Amino acid sequence: MYYLLPFRFDRIDNNEVLVNEVGDFLITPIGTAKRIAHREIGTNEELYKDLISSYFISEIPIPYLIDNLAARLRTKKSFLDHFTSLHIFVLTLRCNQNCIYCQASSKECYGSLYDMSKDTMLKSIDLMFKSPSLSITMEFQGGEPSLMVDLLLFAISTTQEKNIIYQKEITYVLCTNSVNLTDEVLSICETYKVLISTSLDGPEELHNHNRGKIDSYSRVVKGIEKARNILGIDRVSALMTASEESVNHPVEIIDAYIDNGFHSIFLRALNPYGMASQYADWNEYYDRFIVFYKKALDYIIDLNKNGTYFIEEFTSLILRKILTPFSIGFVDLQSPAGIINSVIVYNYDGYVYASDESRMLTEHGDNTFRLGHVNDTYEDIFYGRKAQEIALIWANETIAGCSECAYQSYCGADPVRNHSTQGDMYGFRPTSSFCKKHKQIIQHIFSLLINREEEVLPIFKRWINNSVG
């Protein structure tokens, strides 16, 4: 006789994947979950020992080492200890590109109507320093933030001065399209050790198509090289966004990253915000994206087998949740959700939002996730009525369709995405593109671990060790 402990399961490739409360998993024959539930597992079976040691069953109602399980759960949720660590400052909505999938609803590159004022910046910085987190990332976004050189310098120098009192560890990140990386901008980055996060969508024709500019690729590549020469190669990273056209070119996109000296790629799908929200058939798009992702990952695995070290970053994040006891800082894979808990956005106009996607909604008249204004108190913004409403439904442990999902421990909650695509923050998992994408990717990773373990596990472990280090 044994007692059941909480676990969930799914069937993959004629196997059952059992997953417990802290994300430990066992690969077992189909029918194992039923045998466990019916108390049919014999004490002489090897499986019995695995189930006991991994906290799927217990010989007493409360296991002797239950505190060990609790400590592991605390480790998984340790991102909550620090509260908001990523603070995003939208310096302007003005931009010098014309991306077909722009999520930020950027404006033409003239006038100052959509620029943040120094007064708003000062008040935003004061709110940032009220965060209890000892380590803070100050991220500058747009539009194109490099158009606001004076405000960029003002923000960093002011933060440096104030930090003499607060003594926080601060990381600066400039999110830029790299077509306007002037000597002045890069001098600021060099002086204050600012990281460059740029965007490259693949080979020249595809990148130019996505950006709506015939010279975008050449200018971006030139900007990346210029930044590397001044700041160092490890100070410049890039993201890609898979447009409708991009999903037809997985190999070409990866080759373009390698040709441009990158050792990793983040395969990022379109999100339903800003101009990208106008895409009509999201179900069809995500079906195509999953095919794109699988082909790209297979190609990346082959590259690694043949001696080219190259990481797919989203896969690496999920693997870290599956194969290690550590938490990760990626907002989309957190529960409770990363909004407010991990990230906050100070918009150019002084309004404060729960996430970057939240402020994108407001450009279309939807202020659901507007938490307040920089003139408000920290308590009113971070603990006010709106934050409390969101907090009721931001943990996948309590959401129907997530609470019983085998992959709950590896996934996250996204009230903003639910609201944007389904009309309410709670959402409906069977028709959720967020759920569909994450579940199919996680299932594919498990399929690789089951069917190609000897081939892929050494590669995956190298990726994880790189991300942990």
What is the rounded average pLDDT for all residues in the chain?
A: 92
Residue 354 three-state SS: coil
Q: Residue 391 falls within a domain, yes or no?
A: no
Alpha helix segments (H runs only) across 268-312: 282-305
Classify residue 360: in a domain, yes or no: no
Q: How many domains does the chain have?
A: 1
- pLDDT (tens digit per residue) in 106-125: 555 556 789 999 999 999 99
pLDDT of residue 59 exceeding 80, the answer is yes
Whole-model pTM above 0.85?
yes
Condensed to tens digits (0 to 9), the pLDDT of residues 137-171 reads 999 999 899 999 999 999 999 999 999 999 999 99
Residue 466 confidence class, pLDDT cut points 50, 70, 90? confident
Confidence of residue 269 (pLDDT cuts 50, 70, 90): very high
pLDDT at residue 99 in the model: 67
Which DSSP helix (H) or strand (E) runs through 66?
A: helix 66-76
| Exposure string over 95-126, b if 16+ CB within 10 A, otherwise e | bbbebbbbbbbbbeeeeeebbbeeebbebbbe
pLDDT digits (tens, 9 = 90+) for 298-308: 999 999 999 99
- The range of the structural domain enclosing residue 47 comes to 3-76
Q: Which residues, other chains included, contact 238 with Cβ-Cβ below 8 Å and sequence gap of 6+?
A: 197, 198, 199, 200, 224, 257, 260, 262, 265
Separation in Å, CA 34 to CA 5, 29, 30, 63, 401: 14, 11, 9, 22, 20
Nearest to 358 by CA among 339, 377, 372, 373: 339
Tokens of 152: 């960029």
- Is 173 part of any domain? no
Residue 352's nearest CA partner among 374, 382, 383, 379 is 374
Share of the chain above pLDDT 70, in %: 94
| 37 located within any domain | yes
**Is 53 contained in some domain?**
yes
pLDDT beyond 70 at 27: yes
Average pLDDT over residues 61-71: 91
pLDDT digits (tens, 9 = 90+) for 180-199: 899 999 999 999 999 999 99
Q: Residue 20 and residue 36: Cα distance in Å, rounded?
A: 13
